[in-house]
């Protein structure tokens, strides 16, 4: 049986990873134009941070997965 302190520590580690990922995302500036088709990316979308694709290309990308 796992020690309760170990479980708590694991949860903290997971939260830190999520937090770091979010910080990296916000530190990465969005492109003002799409990396694929050069269409301008709407400012509202750029505000998300780390955006490289316009909505159309992002949708196409997600459909391909
Ligand atoms: Zn595009």
pLDDT tens digit sequence for 6-45: 888 888 888 887 777 776 655 678 999 999 999 999 999 9
Identify the domain containing residue 37 by its residue range.
Answer: 4-64
Quote the ligand 1 centre to 48 CA distance (angstroms). Answer: 16
Quote the ligand 1 centre to 50 CA distance (angstroms). Answer: 14
Q: Quick check: 34 and 53 in contact, CB under 8 A?
A: yes
Quote the ligand 1 centre to 26 CA distance (angstroms). Answer: 21
- Kindly tell me if the per-residue pLDDT of 64 is higher than 80: yes
pLDDT of 12: 82
pLDDT of 1: 66
For residue 13, give Cα distances in angstroms to 24, 27, 62: 16, 21, 29
Quote the ligand 1 centre to 46 CA distance (angstroms). Answer: 13
Total of domains in the chain = 1
pTM above 0.85? no
């Amino acid at each position: 049986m796992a020690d309760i302190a170990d479980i708590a520590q694991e949860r903290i580690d997971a939260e830190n990873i999520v937090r770091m990922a979010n910080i990296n995302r916000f530190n990465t500036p969005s492109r003002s134009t799409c990396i694929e088709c050069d269409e301008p990316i709407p400012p509202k979308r750029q505000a998300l941070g780390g955006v490289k694709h316009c909505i159309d290309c992002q949708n196409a990308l997600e459909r391909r997965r």
